[in-house]
């Protein structure tokens, strides 16, 4: 009986660990480093979809600043995109990266998207006021 309780506790603990980590300057730094390594060739340094490989691609890499995100714009949505990729495109899965690294990428992509995270920059003149809103 004790053993069963212990197993359940460990299981719940493991699930809790899988919850999104909060964003932090350190995590964003990590995201930036990983983005530079893994994503810049297509998405460009500032995420404008203008990396060196972009010209040859169809569909084009997403421009994080202005394009809509078809999988959604919450950190968990971008995490899913990075983890699973987008089928039939060159946007492949990055599931080989650690979960923490994928979260850091999700937050960094949204940082590149702009201060009004989740909203296209052009449509968010009051972005600063909304910065802390979830
Ligand atoms: C080989 C080129 C390539 C690389 C490398 C690449 N992407 Fe992409 N990415 C694309 C393309 C192309 C699309 C658009 C696919 C489509 O139109 O459905 C895309 C789309 C996306 C989207 C938009 C998802 C949505 O909901 O619309 C996100 C977010 C994204 N990529 C993040 C990343 C991150 C983070 C990395 C690095 C870990 C990365 N990509 C690496 C080509 C690339």
Report the Cα 84 to chain-centroid distance in Å: 12
Q: Which long-range contacts link 17-25 to residues 24+ away (Cβ below 8 Å)? A: 18/99, 20/75, 20/76, 20/79, 20/103, 21/100, 21/103, 23/75, 23/107
Give the mutation target among 43, 47, 110 for probing the ligand 1 site: most ligand atoms within 8 A of CB. Answer: 43
Domain ranges of the chain: 22-130
Write down the pTM of the prediction. 0.80
Cα–Cα separations (whole angstroms), residue 107 to 8, 53, 54, 78? 31, 23, 22, 8
In this prediction, residue 10 carries a pLDDT of 53
The closest alpha carbon to 66, from 129, 123, 7, 130, belongs to: 123
pLDDT digits (tens, 9 = 90+) for 26-64: 999 999 999 999 999 999 999 999 999 999 999 999 999
In the predicted structure, residue 16 carries a pLDDT above the cut 70: no
The secondary element (H helix, E strand) that includes residue 98 is none
Ligand 1 nearest atom to the CA of residue 78, by list position: 29
Q: Which fold has domain 22-130?
A: Cytochrome Bc1 Complex; Chain D, domain 2 (1.10.760)
In this prediction, residue 100 carries a pLDDT of 96
The token pair at 3 is 């053993």
The secondary element (H helix, E strand) that includes residue 120 is none
- For residues 46 and 66, give the distance between their C-alpha atoms in angstroms, rounded to a whole number: 12
The alpha carbon of 60 and the centre of ligand 1 are apart by a number of angstroms equal to 9
- For residues 65 and 48, give the distance between their C-alpha atoms in angstroms, rounded to a whole number: 6
pLDDT digits (tens, 9 = 90+) for 102-123: 999 999 999 999 865 544 434 4
């Amino acid at each position: 009986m004790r053993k069963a309780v212990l197993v359940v506790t460990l299981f719940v603990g493991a699930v809790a660990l899988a919850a999104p980590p909060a964003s932090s300057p350190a995590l964003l730094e990590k995201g930036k480093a990983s983005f530079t390594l893994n994503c810049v060739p297509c998405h460009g340094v500032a995420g404008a979809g203008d990396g060196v490989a972009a010209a040859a691609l169809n569909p084009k890499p997403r421009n994080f600043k202005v394009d809509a995100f078809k999988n959604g714009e919450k950190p968990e949505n971008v995490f899913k995109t990075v983890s699973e990729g987008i089928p039939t495109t060159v946007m492949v899965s990055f599931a080989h990266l650690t979960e923490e690294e994928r979260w850091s990428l999700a937050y960094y992509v949204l940082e590149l998207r702009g201060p009004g995270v989740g909203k296209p920059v052009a449509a968010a003149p009051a972005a600063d006021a909304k910065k802390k809103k979830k």
